[in-house]
Structure 1
Amino acid sequence: MVTREDIEAAAARIDGMIRRTPMKPSPSLSGLAGGPVWLKCEHHQETGAFKLRGASNAAARLGKVAGVTTASTGNHGRALAHAARQLGLPAVICVSRLVPQNKLDAIDALGAEARVIGASQDEAFEEARRLEREEGFALVPPFDHPDVIAGQGTLGLESLSQLPDAAALAIPLSGGGLLAGVAAAAKALRPDIRIVGISMERGAAMAASLAAGHPVEVEELETLADSLGGGIGLDNRLTFAMCRDLMDDLILLTEAEIASGLRHLARKDGEVVEGAAAVGAGAILAGKLRAENGPLVLLLSGGNIDPARHAAILGEET
Structure 2
Amino acid sequence: MRTISADGAFKIRGAANTILGELQKNEQRIRRNGVVTASTGNHGRAVSYVAKKLGIPATVYLSSLVPENKVRNIELEGSRVVRVGASQDDAMAEVKRAVAEFGMIEIPPFDHPSIIAGQGTIAFELNEQLNDIDYIFSGLSGGGLLGGIGLAMKHLAPQTHIVGVSLAQGAAMWESLKAGKPVMVEEVASVADSLGGGIGMDNRWTLPAVKQVMDQHFQVSDDYIAAALLLLFEKEKILVEGAAAVGLAALLQYRPDIKGRKVVLILSGNSIATATLPALRQRAVNVDEVGQ
Q: Could you say which TM-score interval applies, normalised by the shorter chain?
A: over 0.9
Conservation of the 8 A alpha-carbon contact between 1:77 and 1:93: yes
Q: How many residues align?
A: 278
Indicate which of 229, 233, 237 corresponds to 2:196.
229
Indicate which of 172, 175, 193 corresponds to 1:208.
175
Deviation, 1:164, is: 2.0
Deviation, 1:88, is: 0.3
Indicate which of 111, 115, 123 corresponds to 1:156.
123
TM-score, length-scaled by structure 2: 0.92
Cα separation, 2, equivalents of 1:137 and 1:288? 47
Residue 49 (1) aligns with residue 16 (2): no
Deviation, 1:124, is: 0.5
Structure 1 residue runs of 4 or more that deviate by more than 6 Å after TM superposition:
none
Cα separation, 2, equivalents of 1:100 and 1:288? 31
Q: CA offsets, 1:10-37, max 9 Å, x none?
A: xxxxxxxxxxxxxxxxxxxxxxxxxxxx
Q: CA RMSD in A?
A: 1.3
What SS class does the counterpart of residue 121 from structure 2 fall into? Answer: helix
Indicate which of 213, 220, 225 corresponds to 2:187.
220
Partner of 1:284: 251
Q: Which amino acid aligns with 1:56?
A: A
Q: CA offsets, 1:240-296, max 9 Å, x none?
A: 011011100010001111111111111111111100001011111113444236200
Cα separation, 1, equivalents of 2:266 and 2:281? 21
What SS class does the counterpart of residue 199 from structure 1 fall into? Answer: strand
Indicate which of 49, 55, 60 corresponds to 2:20.
60
Q: More relative contact order in 1 or in 2 (CA 8 Å, sep 6+)?
A: 1
Output aligned runs, 1:289-304, within 5 Å: 289-292=256-259, 294-304=261-271
Identity %, equivalent residues: 45
Cα separation, 2, equivalents of 1:291 and 1:187? 20
Output aligned runs, 1:89-128, within 5 Å: 89-128=56-95
Deviation, 1:143, is: 0.2
Cα separation, 2, equivalents of 1:182 and 1:289? 21
Indicate which of 273, 279, 287 corresponds to 1:312.
279
Conservation of the 8 A alpha-carbon contact between 2:173 and 2:182: yes
Cα separation, 2, equivalents of 1:117 and 1:288? 40
Conservation of the 8 A alpha-carbon contact between 2:62 and 2:91: yes
Stretches of structure 2 that go unaligned for 5 or more consecutive residues are 286-292
Q: Which amino acid aligns with 1:305?
A: I
Cα separation, 1, equivalents of 2:280 and 2:20? 38
Q: CA offsets, 1:66-121, max 9 Å, x none?
A: 10111100000000000100110110000100000000000000000111010011
Conservation of the 8 A alpha-carbon contact between 1:96 and 1:121: yes
Stretches of structure 1 that go unaligned for 5 or more consecutive residues are 1-40
Deviation, 1:312, is: 3.4
Output aligned runs, 1:165-204, within 5 Å: 165-204=132-171
Cα separation, 1, equivalents of 2:110 and 2:259? 31
Q: Which amino acid aligns with 1:198?
A: V
Q: Which amino acid aligns with 1:115?
A: V
Residue 272 (1) aligns with residue 232 (2): no
Partner of 2:289: none
Q: Which amino acid aligns with 1:308?
A: A
Question: In terms of mean alpha carbon deviation, does 177-186 or 306-315 score higher?
Answer: 306-315
Conservation of the 8 A alpha-carbon contact between 1:284 and 1:290: no
TM-score, length-scaled by structure 1: 0.85
